[in-house]
Structure formats: C-alpha cells, structure tokens
Structure 1
Amino acid sequence: MGASSSTEQTVSPEQRELESLAASTGTLPLLRKSFSKLSDPQTNTISIQSLQQCFYLSYEDPVYESPQKPESFPRLLDHLGTTIVDLFFMSEKGGINWLGFLRGYVKSCGRMSTSMSLNILLRIFAMALEKLGLSSKLEFESNDADCKINGSLLPSDVLLLLWMCWSMLWNVRTWKFSERKGKLFLPDINHLVLSAVVSCAEVNSSLDLWDCDILGLHVQLPVGKFLAWALTTAPTLSDCLTQFVHGRLQSSVTAEDESGSSQSISGDISSTASQALLLTHGRAWAIFLGSTNNISEEILKACLAGDLIGTDEKLLYRSSAHGKGLNRFWSNVEGYHGPLLILISANSEDVHQDNSKTKKWIIGALTQQGFENRDKFYGSSGNLYAISPIFHVFSPSGKEKNFVYSHLHPTGKVYESHPKPVGIAFGGNITNERIFIDEDFAKVTVRHHAMDKTYQPGSLIPIQGFLAVEASITEVEVWGLGGRTAKEVQNSYKKREELFTEQRRKVDLKTFANWDDSPEKMMMDMMADPNRVQREDR
C-alpha cells in the first residue's frame, strides 16, 4: 500500500512531517488502514470517486422535531462529501496518493485552534451552498484555514450550518445501529439560533422570542460576531467535522461489519415523547456544544438516545413523576456522587405586556458533584444555563466559589436565632442567591447577575431587568451524568439505607411479652410511688 511502500523508499521531509502531525492526533494507524482499503493496488492511489463515496452523506425525508423544515437541507447534505474532498484532498495523476491523503487529513482535522476549525466549517458550508446553487454572503480572503472571513449569515444560514454539524455527528454515532438508508432525526435548535441572533445582530424589542419564525427572520449576523459567539457558546461545534471524518474512515475499514446491523436508532425516535421532557435532544446538544469537560460524552449519549424517556438510569428526578418538594427531590438524588444537570421550567408574567401574558422559560445548572445537606455554599465548579427560549452558557468567573447551596430542615435543633433558608440555590450568597428554589418546589427566584460573583454575568431569562423575578415552577428534572459507576454507587447506598430503615422499624415482641418486665409497667410503678424500693434481680 502507499503507506508501506513509502517506507521502502526515501521518505521526504514533507511526508515525515505530515505523518508526525497525523500521529500527534492518534489517527495515523487508522489512516494507514483506510488508505490501504480505499486505494487501488495497481496505482497505489485513491480515486476521487471512492473518497467522495466514503464521505457521502444523504438522507431522504428527515424526521423534524421542530416546525422549521427548510426544503434545501437534505439536498445540502448531498454535496457535503464532494465539498470535503474538493477542499482538502488534491488529486495528482488521476488519484490521491498517500502524501495527498495525509495532507488532506491534516488540513481538515489536524491539530489547530478552535477558531481555525470554525473557519474550516464555514468554508465547507459556503462551498456546499454554492454547489447547491444557493448564494452565500461569506467571503474568504485566501485558502488558508486561518484566513480572514468577511460577510454575514442569515438566521436560516445558522440553522442549516448547525443542522449540518448535527447530521455529521448523528451519522457516525449511529451507523453501527442503523441502516445506510436510515432516517435522520433533526432536533429543535431554535434556542441555539436565537442565541446567535440576539448576540450578533441588531434586533428590536418587538421580536417575540417565544414565537419566532427563524426562516422568515431577515437580519444580518456579521461573521466575525458569529465566530465570537461560537467560541463562547458552542466551542465544541468544530469537533463534529473531526468525528465525521474519523467515523467515515473507520467505517471504510470495517465496512463488512456494517451490513450485519439489525437495529435502527433513528427509527425509534419519538419527537412527541422527547418533547414531554425538559431535556429534549436539541437542548441536550446545546449543552454538549458548550461543554469542554468530562461530562460531554454523557450529554452526547443523551443527545443521540433514540428515546429519552427510556434513559431511566440518567433521569434521577422529575417533579411531575416523583412529586414536588425538597424531600421528594432528596430521596431521589441522595447518594449520587457525580456531575448533575438540573433543569427548571417556570412561568412568569410579562410585565411589558398589558394583558400580563405568562411566559414559559427554562433555566439550568450543572454541578460537578452530588448534593449535600449544608447551611452554606459549596462546590468546586459548575455552569448556569439559559436554555429556553434562548440558550446561553454562564461558566465560573473565578472570583467566588458559591456554586451550590442545598439545605434541608435542620434536625435536632429547636430554635435558631438566624435560621438559614431551606431550599436549593446556585450562585450569589445566602438571601441573595442568583437562583433559589423554595422547599416546596413551588417558586423559583432569579436575581440579577450583579448579586453573583461566582458565575459569568448575563440574563438567565429574557428581559430580566435588575429586579428579582419570582416565577411558578412547572417542572424540575435532575439528570445524572456520572455514568454507570455513579448510578451503581447510588443504588448500593439506597439499598443500605433501606436495610437500616427496616431494621429500625422492627420490634422484638418477645422482650415485651411479660407485663411485669415491660417498661410501661416500670414507669407506672415509679409514678405511683417514686420512693418505692425496687428489688434487684441477681
């Protein structure tokens, strides 16, 4: 093959450098195997058609979770494979040799900064649109990955770009379980698109974030501001391309195993069922895009789960199913020592409307450890999220460490001169928490970020204002992201607690079978004649 034959000859400095760069990503063995599988033994090159087929991505009649259904999107995916090959893999003498194969991989998926990776994504998107016959307002000053980009994006362009990245991730993560012609599931990501619109474009106050037609919204998002938004809100967006290229090359090596699949994840998707949960596929993916720590893989599993209702080992608590209140909450999360994602859905009145119309919004918090019953703040790290109707991530600021507060009613104390609030809170300080949930899970209070130095500033809910917002809670969900080990530890803890409780309930009836030996008779005798001398049995 091309890789082995190159070792028999004098290796050029360029090839040595490219192989070193590929080895630094840990994919050099995969590249050797895939080149051997795709190349022609006679010419020792890969034909353009073979490589385009390797990256070919096509789905008919996708399953949409949202009402937004752009007709051009399935046809956009048809041009994704040819675009990747045309941009990065140069053909020489009728094919792509080992050197050109390495060069194309390093240019598209090599080690580079996040901003350069995002530039590559935009270049792929712009060329795919051009192949489709649609115009793009993006202009690239050169062919370099770090070149300056001018122009702007429409909200509809952002929707197509994000769905393109989702489709690449969906394809390689489900190919082992789905047929080649399986269905593509497209989640509702309006909250992500609106996040980019609000952050990058100049929109007037009349924009209804709860009822907005993304495809009909004609505002310009300068590409520079969009890249800045992506770096802060969705820094792992560029990983979708790398995972797609790796996955398709891996599938070319193990193509014979693909025909043996029997299950279709995409066919089991139920958009109606997933919408019943606060953590929909689209919201889970938004949290995944904003995660750069060890919980991102667990979030990704929730994104791509065929039916989120069935992920019982991750869903620890749901107020509508387990009951509202701090005690019910505690009985379901106690003993779980791992990262937790808490989502709160609430309704508040829109003070800017004359009819006092209620608005539903969802906020969330991510903790790196389980809950503890304390009367002060604790924790090592975490994030706050504005999830719906727009998405934003508020990471730690590094100034304070008031990440989590969870306090139950104190036991064994009759009176406290200064009782600590009972409930759950995130950020801020005691009595001035950024998010506070009361013990009945009836009300949630959201305060201005000026009260909080633990998390980054910003509005958790639209048009928040400086005054505290008190809203009625409609649902609370807690998702465990510590993997199977954390869940098994919690199950062991629960079984141990149930055993202790059962032992405390048991009463040895033989001890009280004789009235003369019962403690009740002894107490009655002492009350009748406290000076009576009791004979001691020896």
Structure 2
Amino acid sequence: MGASSSTVQSRPTEQQEVENEASSMGALPMLRRAFSKLADPETNAVPRENLQQCFSLVYNGQSDASNIHKLFPVLLDHLGSSIVDQFFMPAKGQLTWIEFVRGYNKCCARMSASMSLNMLLRVLHSTLGRANVPINLEFEFDDTGGKMNGSLLPSDVLLLLFMCWCMSWDCRSLKNPEGEVSLSPPNLNHLVLSAITSCAKTDSGLNVWDSDFSSSEVQIPVGKFVTWVLSTVPCLSDCLSQFFHARLQNQATAGDESVPANSSVGGVSLTTECDNNILIPGRAWAIGLTQRSTINEEISELCFPISKDRMDEIILYRSSAHGKGLNRFWSHVEGYKGPMLILVAASSGPHEGSSIVSKWVIGALTNQGFENKDLFYGTSGCLYAISPVFHVFPPSGKEKNFVYSHLHPGGRVYEPRPKPVGIAFGGTMGNERIFIDEDLARVTVRHHAADKTYQHGPLLPDQGFLAVEGLVSEVEVWGLGGHAAKKVQDSYKKREELFTNQRRKVDLKTFSSWEDSPEKMMMDMTSDPNAVRREDR
C-alpha cells in the first residue's frame, strides 16, 4: 500500500493537471494514441516537423481561379506552422507529452465563443505574418485570452472565411473518407458584405449590388467584427477547435503510418446540378454557421458534393423542375414533418442611382413541416437575407406568427372574408413580413416594423419603409430532418396514393343490370319525384 501511495505522489503535479483536463473532455485515450504515432521512439517526443505536417493543408488547384484570393494558397502553406507555434511552442524542436496535452487543452477546452474567436484571429495573424502580409491586428498575450486591437480589411475577412471553410471541409472529409475529393472554396462575398455593412461606417460608399470589394480599404474594427461573428455566424469560432481535434483523431486512428498524408484543397468544381441550385455551397455553409442544433449537420452536408440519391432525398421542391404554383409546391412538401428551409430567388426594379434590376435571395427556416391553415402557426424559425448581403433574423420572443401556408378551400365554399392564399412568414394577416402568392410568381417583402415574431433588420439592402415586390425566378425547399423525416413522408405519400386509388375504383358487379344502376334511379327521380320507390315500400 505504501509503494502504491508513493507512486501516485511521485507523479508530476503538472502532468496530472493537464491529463485531468483532457480526460474531462474524453480526449485522453485519443491523445495517447496520437502521441505514440507522432513521437520519435528514441526521444519519446514529437518532432516539430511531424506536428506541422499533421496540421498542414495544401492547395493543389488553379491559383488563377476567379473565386480564389491570390493569397489563399500562401495562407494554407503556413497554416500548419502557425498552429504549432500558437498552441505547442516546442522547446528545441521536440514536444514532450505534457506540452502535447497542454496544447490540445489550450485549443479545445471549454471556453467562451469570444475566446475561441480570439485564438482563430491569432492564427490568422500569425499565418499572414509568416507570409509577410501586413494585417492591422495587435494582441495582448495572456492566459485569459487577451485583448485585441486594430481593424480588418475586407480582404482579411475573406481570407479568414476561406481558412475556416477549409477547416470545415477537412473535418468532413476525414469523417467520410470515400476517396479524395478536392474542392475550390465557394463564393463567400455575401458574408464579407455582411461584415462590412454591420461593422464599417455607413459612409463607406460601398455598393452592395456590385460586390467587388477586392480593392476596398474599408476598415472593420476588430471589436465590432467579433460582435458580428457572435450574433450572425456564431459557429465560425468553433472551426479551429473542430479542425484541431479532427486532425489529431485522424492521426490516432490511422494505420501504421507515423505521419498522415496531407489533405489537398482545390481543383475540382462542384457538379452542374448543384451549381444550378439557389442553395450553392457558400450559402449553405453560411446558414449552417448560424445553427448549433442538428440542423447544422444536415446543412453542412450540402456544402460538399453528394450523391444524386442523397440530393433527391434532401431537396423536396424546386419550382423550375417540379412546376410553379402552390398546388405543385404542396404535393412535394406535404407529409414532411421535419425542419425545412425554403429559399426564394427574386428580382426587383432598379434602385436609386442605378438602372440595373436587382437580384436577391431570401429564405426561412422552419422547425416543422407546412400545414394547410388559415392562420399563423409554428414554434420557432429564422428568416434569412442571403444575397447579396447575408443576415439572420432569429425569433424575437414577442409573437409566434412563424409560418402561414394556406391553399384554396376544398369545394365551392362561400367565404365572406376570404383568407390570403399563399405562403408567409412573420407579421400579421394581410401585413406579412414575407408573402409569396399562390402562383409562386411574386413575393412581397415588408418593413420589419410590422413583424414582432422575428428580430428586426432589413431583408434587402437599402430596404425602406415601403413594401418591396419582386418577381420570383426560383423557389426551393430543402428537408433537414434527415432520413427519418423523409421515410415518414414517403409512407404518407404511399398511404394517400392508396386511398386515392381506392376512391377511384367502381365495383361494376353491383350495377349488373339497368334497373339497379344509379343512372336509372336518377332519371326516375327527375321524371316523377313523387313516384313510390322500391326502397320506400
């Protein structure tokens, strides 16, 4: 017993502390396996080169691609070194077990979103510094996360988003290693414009309808940028820790190789079918960054190429493929009981100082399926301004007019005060925040003052107090309830189809003679309604 006590007491206190913290996150067994595969057997320490390669991403696409920032390949070249220096700081080029676990805890331990974002910006600052690219950020380094001062340019924000996108892509590719798939980063201009319009001065003179901000010198204060991230895309701050954990876990579960192969980013564009959707990868990723629920995983699946069968399962309705009109819409969404994302691409007349017709995309996320009702319903949801500027409007908590979806009533029923036929979100009856007519041809967007269900803010750039009416070019509905919700809908459709076929069938054997036929009975009643019928005897 004495020997056992002595052994426990002889264990270094520092090692025990870092191991306990890693164990509380359930990561200690994984870290032991990763360390054993990365470490040099002779020194029992991890060489710096192995760590850098573990966290490296290499871009192998075309550097002159239109949607790729010229510094993007350079950014990825220095990412692995910056992460190692930021979290490990190995002495003499070797990393001991304690330093290895402490580095993991520093990046992946439970912390506030602002501290996670602080670390993410530090990695960006270090990476650009290694590439000799100036960035106006200053940090006060301490154990509590420190403070940040300075500002970001639109190009800095774009590089940060590209870096986070690649981290998200890498996490997903490591979870689903079905062959190597290279991706070019998507168009993320709508997110950059959102940061500019939310953080920069209103007199910046930037035309959001012309999203070329590559040479813009607009200053985005870093404090306001942090506020924008936490309120608009809060999941962005998780990208670094998720990438960090996924890379080490991949190392722990790898084969006998001591150093994993690098992941490559770029080169292969998305499929034509996906490019024709409103929900292109950049928009899907932005929406996913606003959700911390299981919806995030479903939307993240749309950020990358998926099989046609899976695509057909997720997309419930597309007006260009299934036909416009509320009846066509209803036949494809009825019976789906999971979360749904509806997107509307539309265009409106020219704005002041421009003769160009403006094209825009808005959307709504519901936590339940559509119902044919003549009043508002729902328990939760979000509205989205997606293009050209991205914004999210979660529930305000004041009212619950989340969704309205009403078809024409069956039969010829007289209604003294007919209810609007169409789809709406927010506002009140006749004064909806978003209203789509029954032909899915026009959409009306009203000022947020009429809506107490969703948070305030413009769904369109330069939106005034007057309602904006747009011509709808495309409507899409995406099912985000997973396989279970789709299976329930398929069962519902089969059941409805069976009932319809049964109602159509007529048993001709019961009408074997003219005397027993319903036609003969109707003719007799018409000729002499007072005649005594066989049924009346």
Q: Secondary structure of 1:146's match?
A: coil
Deviations 1:314-360 (A, max 9, x none): 000001111111110000000000000000011101241464x3111
Hey, what does 1:36 align to over in structure 2? 36
Deviations 1:349-405 (A, max 9, x none): 1241464x3111000000000001111111111000000001001011111111111
Distance 1:123 1:265 in 2: 22
Distance 1:311 1:208 in 2: 35
Tell me the amino acid that sits aligned with residue 77 of structure 1: L
Q: Where does the alignment leave 5 or more consecutive residues of structure 2 unmatched?
A: 1-6
Tell me the amino acid that sits aligned with residue 305 of structure 1: P
Distance 2:208 2:309 in 1: 27
Deviations 1:27-54 (A, max 9, x none): 2221121112212233222111111111
Following superposition, the deviation at residue 442 of structure 1 comes to 1.1
Structure 1 residues 521-536: aligned runs within 5 Å: 521-535=520-534
2:402 is the counterpart of 1:395: no
TM-aligned CA distance change 1:164 to 1:308, over 3 Å: farther
Hey, what does 1:27 align to over in structure 2? 27
Hey, what does 1:13 align to over in structure 2? 13
Following superposition, the deviation at residue 419 of structure 1 comes to 1.4
Following superposition, the deviation at residue 15 of structure 1 comes to 2.7
Distance 1:498 1:100 in 2: 64
Instruction: Point out the more displaced range, 276-285 or 54-63.
Output: 54-63
Distance 1:447 1:289 in 2: 26
Distance 1:218 1:480 in 2: 40
For this pair of structures, how many residues does the alignment match?
Answer: 528
Structure 1 residues 501-516: aligned runs within 5 Å: 501-516=500-515
- RMSD over aligned CA atoms reads 2.6
Following superposition, the deviation at residue 427 of structure 1 comes to 0.5
Following superposition, the deviation at residue 308 of structure 1 comes to 7.8
Structure 1 residues 317-396: aligned runs within 5 Å: 317-353=317-353, 355=355, 357-396=356-395
TM-aligned CA distance change 1:260 to 1:134, over 3 Å: closer
Instruction: Point out the more displaced range, 168-177 or 476-485.
Output: 168-177
Query: Would you say the 8 A contact 2:58–2:76 is kept in 1?
Result: yes
Distance 2:421 2:43 in 1: 74
Q: Secondary structure of 2:255's match?
A: helix
Following superposition, the deviation at residue 256 of structure 1 comes to 2.6
Hey, what does 1:495 align to over in structure 2? 494
Following superposition, the deviation at residue 146 of structure 1 comes to 2.1
Query: Would you say the 8 A contact 1:73–1:160 is kept in 2?
Result: yes
Following superposition, the deviation at residue 424 of structure 1 comes to 0.7
Query: Would you say the 8 A contact 2:182–2:268 is kept in 1?
Result: no
Structure 1 residues 76-475: aligned runs within 5 Å: 76-92=75-91, 94-144=93-143, 146-175=145-174, 176-177=176-177, 183-204=182-203, 206-256=205-255, 269-270=269-270, 272-306=272-306, 311-353=311-353, 355=355, 357-412=356-411, 414-475=413-474
Hey, what does 1:3 align to over in structure 2? none
Distance 1:190 1:379 in 2: 32
Distance 2:37 2:145 in 1: 32
TM-aligned CA distance change 1:257 to 1:537, over 3 Å: farther
Deviations 1:269-307 (A, max 9, x none): 426543311000000000011112220000111112357
TM-aligned CA distance change 1:354 to 1:366, over 3 Å: closer
Tell me the amino acid that sits aligned with residue 432 of structure 1: N
TM-aligned CA distance change 1:453 to 1:31, over 3 Å: same
Q: Where does the alignment leave 5 or more consecutive residues of structure 1 unmatched?
A: 1-6
TM-aligned CA distance change 1:171 to 1:535, over 3 Å: closer
Tell me the amino acid that sits aligned with residue 389 of structure 2: I
Tell me the amino acid that sits aligned with residue 325 of structure 1: G
Identity %: 60
Distance 1:337 1:257 in 2: 46
Distance 1:362 1:63 in 2: 29
Distance 2:35 2:205 in 1: 55
Instruction: Point out the more displaced range, 89-98 or 216-225.
Output: 89-98
Following superposition, the deviation at residue 239 of structure 1 comes to 1.5
Following superposition, the deviation at residue 525 of structure 1 comes to 2.1
Following superposition, the deviation at residue 523 of structure 1 comes to 2.2
Following superposition, the deviation at residue 203 of structure 1 comes to 4.6
Distance 2:525 2:170 in 1: 81
Tell me the amino acid that sits aligned with residue 321 of structure 1: A
TM-aligned CA distance change 1:178 to 1:161, over 3 Å: farther
Q: Secondary structure of 1:316's match?
A: strand
Tell me the amino acid that sits aligned with residue 26 of structure 2: G
Query: Would you say the 8 A contact 1:62–1:184 is kept in 2?
Result: no
Distance 1:351 1:76 in 2: 38
Query: Would you say the 8 A contact 1:326–1:441 is kept in 2?
Result: yes
Following superposition, the deviation at residue 265 of structure 1 comes to 11
Hey, what does 2:4 align to over in structure 1? none
Q: Secondary structure of 1:237's match?
A: helix
Deviations 1:190-219 (A, max 9, x none): 000110011111254753222222311111
Query: Would you say the 8 A contact 1:288–1:299 is kept in 2?
Result: yes
